Amino acid sequence: MKNLNNLPIYIYSNEFLYRAIYIVFNLLLFICVILNQFDTLIFIEIIPFIDLQQKFIVVGVTDLLELLWFLTLTLTPLFAWPLIILHLVHFFRAGWYNYQLYFIKIIFKYVFMVYSFTIIGCHWVLLPNILSLLIQWDNVFTRYKTILHINPQFNILDYVIWMVEFHYTINFWLLIFFSYVIILYLVKKLKANYKTMKYQRKIILFNLITVSFILSPPDLHLQLFTIIFFYIFIELIFFFLCFRLINTITVLKLNTINANYSTTIKKIP
């Protein structure tokens, strides 16, 4: 009787189990590091705003506990997802072709680069400028400083939640843009995509802005930024489609001219 342990289902099940245990073990290590270096993580979160000379306060007794759980649940998947993707790729590589492995590696490499640069840019450039703009509202009330004094203070819990949500929102839309560009690059129905974007891009823009307004807080500056961002996003996609369509038409014309020229040369005795 054939040994059941040599069946592929048992081999792949054992491999999946070992990889899952290894991933869970690494997640637990990440959680232990976050719990042990909780103060360091908070310092890293607020270090771009030291130049603003603002104080971060804790309103409730349980704010620090909520902040600890929030950072644990948000930073652990953030640090662990490259490892998870690596294990998934190595697990499924036995059933993939070489070009599929190459394509997956290229995709995840660029996704990781986009994600990393976005987090760094948002954390060190974009968010400090937005926060600096928001805390300057006290200059609006210069005429009433004798009776109205505004001293903005930051709640550390609300600030960290806002910052993480902002990071994830920006990365979400950038990854959608990146994925859509890849799909447009791979798809062969270029003319249909061009017509869709030409006649439907205003509707797509309206739907994106509507959904983002529902999900985002009612802040005027954030809404203006969202409108500008999605407008540039749609126009870049349309420009990319136009560019690809023109290149495709040019290549087809050149191939036709070369084919006609070759046929003419062959007919000459």
Question: What would the pLDDT profile of 179-226 be if each residue is shown by its tens digit?
Answer: 766 666 655 566 667 777 777 778 878 877 787 776 666 667 777 877
Element (H, E) at 123: none
Is-contact 164 74, C-beta < 8 A? yes
Count other Cβ atoms within 10 Å, centred on residue 184: 17
Is-contact 167 64, C-beta < 8 A? no
Nearest to 45 by CA among 135, 133, 156: 156
Tens digit of pLDDT per residue, the chain (269 long)?
Answer: 456 566 777 778 888 888 889 888 988 888 888 888 888 888 877 777 776 666 777 777 788 888 888 888 888 887 888 888 888 888 888 778 787 778 777 777 777 787 777 777 777 777 777 777 766 665 555 555 556 566 667 778 888 888 887 777 777 777 777 776 666 665 556 666 777 777 777 887 887 778 777 666 666 777 787 788 888 888 887 787 777 777 777 766 666 665 554 555 544 55
In this structure, what are the phi and psi dihedrals at residue 184, rounded to the nearest 5 degrees? -65, -35
Count other Cβ atoms within 10 Å, centred on residue 222: 17
Q: How far apart are CA 82 and CA 163, in angstroms?
A: 22
DSSP 144-196: GTTT------EEHHHHHHHHHHHHHHHHHHHHHHHHHHHHHHH-S-HHHHHHH
Is-contact 45 160, C-beta < 8 A? yes
Burial of 229 (0-12, 13-18, 19+ CB in 10 A): middle
The domain ranges of the chain are 188-269
- For residue 96, give the DSSP letter: S
